[in-house]
Structure 1
Amino acid sequence: MGQVRQGSATTTHAIRAAIQRSHASLATLSRELGINPKTVAKWRKRATVEDLKTGPKEPCSTTMSAEEEAMVVAFRRHTLLPLDDCLYALQPSIPHLTRSALHRCLQRHGISRLPDVDGDKPKRQRFKRYPIGFFHIDIAEVQTAEGKLYLFVAIDRTSKFAFVRLVHKAGKMAAAQFLRDLIAAVPYRLHKVLTDNGIQFANRSCDTTAFEHIFGRVCREHGIEHRLTKVRHPWTNGQVERMNRTIKEATVKRFHYDNHDQLRTHLDDFIAAYNFARRLKTLNGLTPYEYICKVWTSEPDRFIVNPIHQMPGLNS
């Protein structure tokens, strides 16, 4: 099999081996082989006939300082976040960080691949694509030192925009009011909502009443299709179930709250940061509200108001 040499090489493996075996002077070998005496001296000193690797002996980043590289490595090892999530989290601190530079840095330190989780991974199925305006809604219980509260959570299936409310009682009137508040808060029209079969959202099958459930009536008044999950199939509403867990991990599972107002304030701050600042891989690096503004430019007929007017800042 032929040998692979550097493009500027003037010797073959056989010539290099002959140089290393010969006892002739450098000048003599240089004349006989027709090469530079420095080349003869170089190969005589070496114990191998292979070309050395080019590039720096200690690879390092050309765009990041040693401190920034150490920050990247520590962040990856501590959080075990995927590549894109690491990029979005680190760019505010390292503005010149690019995806390729981050990937090369992780490769140099041997942490470019996350450790495999034991067990068989279930096959993931893609969600059916819907236009914005399809919300998943659910209820969760939370605790403070004052007692128990109920958390209504809604998340858009497509834009991932989240909306929450804390209430003392989670009855059907509270659920209907939550839906009204959601409709008023979102800059586009809702066309579908998905809930479980709880009494807050639908009449029970054993009820004989002919009256329309108030939650369904609010849906009908606003032209919204109300869908229910299959009984004992909570994973059908998995998006909002996952959002419930995210909210709890960021609030009540991590901090102690002396009263309900403390939780309410922290929850509002977290949801604002999520909607307006958290860049999501599923949205190609956009925040939920950036994605909504992007849809506004291509499908303005779906909107009630210009979403740019609702962005936090000087115009809010």
Structure 2
Amino acid sequence: METIYWLAVATVVIVLFFDYTNGFHDAANIVATVIASRAMTPIQAVCIVGFFEFMGPLLGGTAVANTIGKFVDLSSLDKQTAILILFCGLLGAIVWNLATWWLGIPSSSSHALVGGVAGAVVAAAGSQFVIWGWTPLMQEGKLLGVMKVLVSLFVSPVLGFWVGFLIHRAGRRLLAGAKPTANDKLRKMQFVTAAGLAFSHGANDAQKSMGMLTLVLVLGGFIPKFEVPFWVMLACAIAITLGILSGGWRIVRTLGFAIYRVRPLHAFDSQLTSALLILSASYAGAPVSTTHVVATSIMGIGYSERPRAVRWKKAKDIGKTWLYTIPASAITAIVIYAIAKIIVG
């Protein structure tokens, strides 16, 4: 029992560290357009984003946590093996997050989490312990398990592109003939949209860690059923907020400048698009990638205005990273599990 206890403690620490790297990695997604459009200074952006990021996990419900915490079923395994698998899967996701941050590439922490955990489960126990969701999808029309996660992650960028496209078209018509002073008002309005984006990010992304942490507690026998305790919400809110405050600034240049030259209207429309989509997904229990939604909203906004000005090569590079993330994090987790198995016997 003592071994299981300390292994569970180590895994809880890893979950919170993943949550921290999630915030650290995604800070640029939230503040990039604010800074690029000169609506806020970096210090102002971090203070406002940090506060609303912290409130998101506390007020955003637990629908996404339930989805993430139930896409694998390890209840039939012994406790030590089950918790070790989660430990290795999360560590694989962390390694990929840090690698892409170091290279300044916007990648999805959500993809990394799913790939890492699923890879470790398949390698350690077999594919039957992953709730893939294929059969229920065909028989009952319901999205479950990995299928629900993947559909959410791949549909959200498409929506980000086209919703951003439409919102920017509408914004340009409303502001047709407006004086240059309108930019000042748009910059001030970003205090609201940036706060909304930060809140929605906290509500969606921190719940992924909440789901994993609660699953660890269930598998270790520390709580009787899958129900997110308040202290788990609070711990994940603190961890992701600290990550945001630390800031992965290497990615700001990619999102704020390298895809399309962002002006105040572009920034406002991107933040509004992203906040609406991510918050809607959070209450629907659909885990989405803030990185995906923000980046594709900028692409859609650029496409609606000047398609040739969009740096499609950079967009293509980002798209490749998205496709690589799940298999890369899965392979990383498998290697980590193999090493851990040798160490613990």
Task: Specify the TM-score bucket, using the shorter chain as the normaliser.
Answer: under 0.3
User: Computing the radius of gyration over CA atoms, which structure comes out larger, 1 or 2?
Assistant: 1
Per residue, is there more helix in 1 or in 2? 2
